Amino acid sequence: MGNPSSVSFWTQANALLRKNLTFQKRNVKSNIRLILFPLIICVLLVLVQIIIDIELRKSEFKCGCVCANNKTRCEDSEKVCGPQYSDQIQVPTCPISNPAEWPPLLQLPAVSCKQNRSSCHFTTLFTADNHSFGHTVSKNMFPSTLVMNDSNIMDSLAPNVLGSESMTTDNNFNEPGFTLALPIYSLQTRCPRNNSGFSFAMAGTTGQQEIRCARGINLWRNSSSEINNELYKGYRRHNRKGRINEIVSAFDFLNSNEDGFNVTVWYNSTYKSNITFVPNALLRIPRSINLVSNAYLQFLKGPGTKMIFEFVKEMPKPETPIRLEIASLLGALFFTWVVLQLFPVILTSLVYEKQQKLRIMMRMHGLGDGPYWIISYGYFLALSTIYMLCFVIFGSVLGFKFFTLNDYSIQFVFYFIYTNLQISLAFLLASFFSNVKTATVTAYIGVFGTGLLAGFLFQFLVQDPSFSRGWIICMELYPGFALYRGLYEFAQSASSIGNYGTDGMRWKDLSGGANGMKEVLIIMVVEWIVVLFVAYYIDQVLSTGSGKNPLFFLRGFQKKPLPSLKKPSIKRQGSKVFAQMEKPDVIREREKVEQLLLEPTINHAIVCDNLKKFYPGRDGNLGKFAVRELFLGVPRGECFGMLGPNGAGKSSFISMMIGLTKPTSGAAYVQGLDIRNHMDGIYTSMGVCPQHDLLWESLTGREHLLFYGRLKNLTGSVLTQAVEESLKSLNLYHGRIADKQAGKYSGGMKRRLSVAISLIGDPSVVYMDEPSTGLDPASRRCLWKVIKHAKRDRAIILTTHSMEEAEALSDRLGIFVNGTMQCLGNPKELKGRYGGTYVFTMTTSSDHEKDVENMVQQLTPNANKIYHLSGTQKFELPKEDVKIASVFRAVEVAKRNFTVFAWGLADTTLEDVFIKVAREAEGFDTLS
C-alpha cells in the first residue's frame, strides 16, 4: 500500500471520466432522444415551410392575370398578366420590364368631402420672415382652373396640382391613387359651380378615373411655432365643426428672398399601407417640394416659367415570387428551445448526484473537487458540443438559410460561449436544488417560459427603435434573452426581409451598430466567467461534506500547516473534563487517548479527543448536545462496535468522522490527520458504508467497484483482481448480479455492494453504519465473514442494532447513550459486568400469578420483576443467590401445584446489558 495521499489528480479524473462514459453508454436511449430533439424541430420547420410554399404558390400570391378578350374563364395561355391586374400584394411579384409612369400626387388627409362636394377644401399653411414675400410666393402654388388635353393626358396633368388620400405601399409600380376606386382631387384656387369632376382613362389602368375639384387654400400664420402648434392640435383631433383639420402641408419660407430660397416643409408621414408585412411605405413628398419650388421660380421669373414634374416611375425588375423563410421568421424562438433543451439535462444530472448523495459518497472515497469539476464540466461541454454540432448539421443539411448563410465560425463561437455559460449556470443552480423532480420541472418551465417571453415580448422591444438600447442590454443579462438575441440576429441576417441583406452574417458585420451580436457575445463571455466563479464558490461553501468557511479562499494567504503523517501537531485543548461518574472503563479510555496524544503511534488509526457536537436551538427550542464528550482510540486490526438507541448521537459521530459536519469542539485524528482541516487527506485512506445505499441506479455493481477502485489508485490487473475478489466474497458474483444495474438490485444486494465499496482499495479506516440491515441470515453470515477478514489490518467502526452482529464482529463494544459513551469493553466483559443475573420466565394462567411470585420470592428475596403481561412474568435473579438446580427443583414443585404453560431460564444476553445500560443512562439523564 503506497502513501494514501498520493492518489493523483489524473487518477481521480480518469476514474470519474470512465464512470461518466459508462453512465452515458447506459443512457443511450435518452441520449438518442436528446439528439433527436433538434432533428424533430428542424423537420417540423421544413414541413411548415412546405405548407407555406404550397400556399404561396396559389394565385393570390402571384402576379395578377386576366383573360384576354374579356372572357371570364380561359386557359393559362390566353391570360395576360401584369401589375395593372394585380392587387397590392401581387404587384411586387410581377416581372416588370417597363414600369408605368404615374403623375406625382400630393398626400391629402383622409378627410371625406362626401357630405358636401362643393365645399371640399384642403389647407396649406405658410409663414416667412418677409410677409409680402410669403404671400407673393404662396399665391403661385395652386392654379385657378383645371387644364386638360384629352389627346395627351399625361402631359396635361403635369401643371395641375393633384392629390389623393389613398394609402401608399412600399413600391411605385402601382400608384394606389389611380388604381383604387378613390377620387383624385385637383387643388385649385376656386372650383366651378357645377363641380361634376372630370373622367379619363389612365394608361396602364383598367377603369375610368375621376378628377374632382377641391379648393386649395393658403393661410398665413405669424410664426412657425404657431404652425407647429396648429398641426399638433390637428393631429388626430377634431376641430369645432367636428372635422379633422385638413392640412395638406405647411411651409416656412424663413429668410428667403430674391437672392436665396430657404424653406422648411412640414408633411404628414402617418400614412401607411394597411398590409402588415409592408413596413416601409413610400411617402408622397416630392410633389410638395416641387410645388413650393415651382411657386418660387414663378416669383422670380414670372408666371410663364414652370418647373414641370411630369411623372414618377419605378426601376424595372424581374419576377420576384414571395418567399417566406420560416426558419428565419420563427427560427429564433424554436432554436432557442433547442439550445435551452440542454439545460434541464445538465441540471438534472447534477442534482441527481446531489440528491442521491453520490457527490458526497465520491468525496468520501477520495474524489477531490478539482477533478470533479473539471471532468464534470468537460463532460457536459462535450455533450453540449455534440448536441449543437448535430443541430447545426441537421439544419444545414435540410437547407435552412439560418445555418448556411451565416458564417459558420461566428455560429461556432456563439454556440460555444453560450453552452459554456449554460453549463456554469447549471452548476450554479444545482446548488439550490436538492430534489431531481423539482429541478426538472423548474428547468423545463424556465426553458419554455424563456422562449415564449423572448419571442413575444423581448423581440418586440428589440425591434422597437424607440426602446432604450440600455434596457435591451440589461435584459440580455438574462442568458435566455442573450441567446434569443443572438439567434434573432442570425435569423435577421439570413432572412430576405432583413435589414442587412441576404448574404448572412460575417465577422465584419459585428462592428456595425445595428447588429446586436457583439454585445451579446461580450455579455455572455463576462457572465460565463462570473457565473463559473460564483458557482464554484457557492459549491464550496454550501455543499455538505466540505462545508468550508465563506472566506475559505483567503486561507491561501495564511500560513498553511503541512499535514504530516508521523508527527501530527496535536495540542491538548485546555478543556474542563467532567469526571465521569463510576465509569472506570470510560475513564481508562480517556487516559489512553491522552497518552496517545502525547506519544502518537501509527498503530492507532482513530483517535477521538473530547469530541463534541452541539446543535444550537432553533425556533425557541433548546440546543442539544448530539455528542457530549467522546474519547476513543481504535487501533488497527480492531473492529469497534457502537451500540446505542436511536437518537443517541451515533450518526452525528460518524458524520463528524467522515467530514459531513464539523465538530463543535474537540478533535479527532485519523492516521494522524486532523479531521478539522485535513479531511481531503483522510478521504484517500477511508471507506464508508453509509446507512442508506448511495448508488447510481444505472451502473452495475462491477462498474461501481471499478470506479471506486480507480479512485483508490488501483489500476490494471490489480484493479480487476480486487473487484473480482470483492464480488466473489460478497456473493455478488453469481447469477450475473455483478453485471445487473444497481437500480434492479434487491435491498440486500445493494447493502452488500455498499459494503464491498467501503472495503475496496484497502482503506485503513472503515466506517460501517448498520451494514447488515435488510439482509437474509445467509447473506448476513457471509457479510460477517468478509468484515472479519477485512478487520485484520484495518480499524473499523461499526454501528448496529443487532446484538448478535455486535457480538460476532466487535473486538470491543461501546454503548453510546445521550451523546456519551456509557461503557466500553469487549462483549464478554460487559456481560460479566452488567449481567450478574439470570432471567427467569414463567407463563401460567393469570389466577396463579401470585403463586409464581411467591415461588420466586422463596428462591431469592432479591428477585426483580422486569416484565409482566397476562400470565407471563419475567424476573431477574442475581447469580450469587440462586443455583440453577434449585430453580429446577422449585419449578418441579410448582408444576405439581398448578398448571405451568411454559417456563425458561436464560443467562444475560448482550441485549439485556444494552437495555439496562440505556435505561440507566436515560434515567440518570432525566433526573439531572
Ligand X SMILES: *[C@@H]1O[C@H](CO)[C@@H](O)[C@H](O)[C@H]1NC(C)=O
Closest CB to ligand X among residues 108, 605: 108
Residues in the chain: 928
Instruction: Out of 59, 151, 194, 274, name the contact with ligand X by CB under 6 A.
Output: 151
Tell the smallest beta-carbon distance from residue 220 to ligand X (Å). 8
Closest CB to ligand X among residues 254, 297: 254
Instruction: Out of 132, 276, 466, 646, name the contact with ligand X by CB under 6 A.
Output: 132
Binding mask 59-98 for ligand X (x = CB under 6 A): ----------------------------------------
Closest CB to ligand X among residues 293, 543: 293
Q: Which stretch binds ligand X (CB under 6 A): 68-76, 145-153, 503-511, 802-810?
A: 145-153
Closest CB to ligand X among residues 122, 488: 122
Specify the residue for cell string 460564483: 534
* Angle at 456 (CA atoms; ends 452, 460), nearest 5 degrees: 145
Tell the smallest beta-carbon distance from residue 445 to ligand X (Å). 44
Tell the smallest beta-carbon distance from residue 251 to ligand X (Å). 13
Question: With binding defined as CB under 6 A, does residue 234 bind ligand X?
Answer: yes
Tell the smallest beta-carbon distance from residue 260 to ligand X (Å). 6
Closest CB to ligand X among residues 132, 621: 132
| C-alpha cell recorded at residue 565 | 503523517
At 904 the three-state DSSP class reads strand
- Residues whose CB falls within 8 Å of the CB of residue 42, separated by 6 or more in sequence, listed in order: 391, 394, 395, 398, 400
Instruction: Out of 6, 72, 208, 222, name the contact with ligand X by CB under 6 A.
Output: 222
Ordered DSSP codes for 373-408: HHHHHHHHHHHHHHHHHHHHHHHHHTT-HHHHTS-H
CA distances (Å), 274 to each of 181, 280, 341, 620, in order? 16, 11, 39, 69
Instruction: Out of 10, 235, 456, 467, name the contact with ligand X by CB under 6 A.
Output: 235
CA 122 to the chain's CA centroid: 61
Q: Which stretch binds ligand X (CB under 6 A): 77-85, 230-238, 786-794, 886-894?
A: 230-238
| C-alpha cell recorded at residue 106 | 400630393
Closest CB to ligand X among residues 305, 858: 305
Tell the smallest beta-carbon distance from residue 268 to ligand X (Å). 4
Q: How far is it, in rounded angstroms, from Cα 635 to Cα 637?
A: 6
Question: With binding defined as CB under 6 A, does residue 254 bind ligand X?
Answer: yes
Tell the smallest beta-carbon distance from residue 239 to ligand X (Å). 11
Question: With binding defined as CB under 6 A, does residue 262 bind ligand X?
Answer: yes
Closest CB to ligand X among residues 182, 330: 182
Closest CB to ligand X among residues 156, 440: 156
Question: With binding defined as CB under 6 A, does residue 488 bind ligand X?
Answer: no
Sheet holding 795-799, edge to edge: 673-674, 665-670, 604-615, 624-635, 820-825, 812-817, 639-643, 795-799, 765-769, 686-689
Question: With binding defined as CB under 6 A, does residue 229 bind ligand X?
Answer: no
Tell the smallest beta-carbon distance from residue 384 to ligand X (Å). 52
- Residues whose CB falls within 8 Å of the CB of residue 336, separated by 6 or more in sequence, listed in order: 450, 451, 454, 455, 480, 483, 484, 487
Based on DSSP, count helices (H) and strands (E) in the chain, helices before strands: 30, 24
Question: With binding defined as CB under 6 A, does residue 130 bind ligand X?
Answer: yes
Instruction: Out of 41, 247, 346, 757, name the contact with ligand X by CB under 6 A.
Output: 247
Tell the smallest beta-carbon distance from residue 459 to ligand X (Å). 27
Nearest to 502 by CA among 405, 363, 375: 405
Tell the smallest beta-carbon distance from residue 269 to ligand X (Å). 8
Q: Which stretch binds ligand X (CB under 6 A): 232-240, 525-533, 543-551, 889-897?
A: 232-240
Question: With binding defined as CB under 6 A, does residue 268 bind ligand X?
Answer: yes
Binding mask 15-54 for ligand X (x = CB under 6 A): ----------------------------------------
Q: Tell me, by CB under 6 A, how many residues bind ligand X.
A: 25
Q: How far is it, in rounded angstroms, from Cα 640 to Cα 401?
A: 71
Q: How far is it, in rounded angstroms, from Cα 203 to Cα 197?
A: 19
Instruction: Out of 260, 304, 616, 620, name the contact with ligand X by CB under 6 A.
Output: 260
| C-alpha cell recorded at residue 214 | 377641391
Tell the smallest beta-carbon distance from residue 295 to ligand X (Å). 12
Question: With binding defined as CB under 6 A, does residue 149 bind ligand X?
Answer: yes
Closest CB to ligand X among residues 260, 616: 260
| C-alpha cell recorded at residue 842 | 414463567
CA distances (Å), 877 to each of 46, 427, 466, 836, 901, in order? 90, 64, 97, 8, 21
Q: Between residue 94 and residue 123, which ones bind ligand X under the rule CB under 6 A?
A: 109-110
DSSP lists the bridge partners of residue 329 as none
Closest CB to ligand X among residues 114, 734: 114
DSSP lists the bridge partners of residue 210 as 199
Closest CB to ligand X among residues 284, 636: 284
Q: Between residue 746 and residue 765, which ones bind ligand X under the rule CB under 6 A?
A: none
What's phi and psi for 68, nearest 5 deg?
A: -70, 165
Ordered DSSP codes for 767-786: EEESTTTT--HHHHHHHHHH
Instruction: Out of 133, 200, 373, 733, name the contact with ligand X by CB under 6 A.
Output: 133
Question: With binding defined as CB under 6 A, does residue 152 bind ligand X?
Answer: yes
Question: With binding defined as CB under 6 A, does residue 236 bind ligand X?
Answer: yes
- Residues whose CB falls within 8 Å of the CB of residue 714, separated by 6 or more in sequence, listed in order: 722, 760, 761
Q: Check: CB of residue 189 under 8 Å from CB of residue 108.
A: no
CA 618 to the chain's CA centroid: 33
Closest CB to ligand X among residues 258, 599: 258
Question: With binding defined as CB under 6 A, does residue 244 bind ligand X?
Answer: yes
Instruction: Out of 206, 255, 435, 854, name the contact with ligand X by CB under 6 A.
Output: 255
Amino acid, single-letter form, for residue 120: C
Nearest to 633 by CA among 591, 661, 675: 591
Strand 812-817 and strand 639-643: the pairing is parallel
Q: Which conformational region is residue 770 in: left (phi greater than 0), alpha (psi within -120 to 50 degrees), or beta?
A: left
Q: How far is it, in rounded angstroms, from Cα 576 to Cα 796?
A: 29
Tell the smallest beta-carbon distance from residue 130 to ligand X (Å). 4
Question: With binding defined as CB under 6 A, does residue 242 bind ligand X?
Answer: no
Q: Check: CB of residue 280 under 8 Å from CB of residue 273.
A: no
Q: Which stretch binds ligand X (CB under 6 A): 234-242, 460-468, 532-540, 616-624?
A: 234-242
Q: Which stretch binds ligand X (CB under 6 A): 231-239, 338-346, 411-419, 850-858?
A: 231-239
Tell the smallest beta-carbon distance from residue 86 to ligand X (Å). 25
452 exposed, middle or buried (CB, 10 Å; 0-12, 13-18, 19+)?
middle
Q: How far is it, in rounded angstroms, from Cα 561 to Cα 539?
A: 24
Question: With binding defined as CB under 6 A, does residue 245 bind ligand X?
Answer: yes
Instruction: Out of 102, 122, 142, 271, name the contact with ligand X by CB under 6 A.
Output: 271
- Residues whose CB falls within 8 Å of the CB of residue 839, separated by 6 or more in sequence, listed in order: 866, 874, 875, 876, 877, 905, 906, 907, 908, 912
Tell the smallest beta-carbon distance from residue 216 to ligand X (Å). 15
Instruction: Out of 89, 180, 231, 275, name the contact with ligand X by CB under 6 A.
Output: 231
Tell the smallest beta-carbon distance from residue 394 to ligand X (Å). 47
Closest CB to ligand X among residues 141, 808: 141
Question: With binding defined as CB under 6 A, does residue 302 bind ligand X?
Answer: no
Binding site for ligand X (CB under 6 A): 109-110, 130, 132-133, 136, 149, 151-152, 222, 231, 234-236, 244-245, 247, 254-255, 257, 260, 262, 268, 270-271
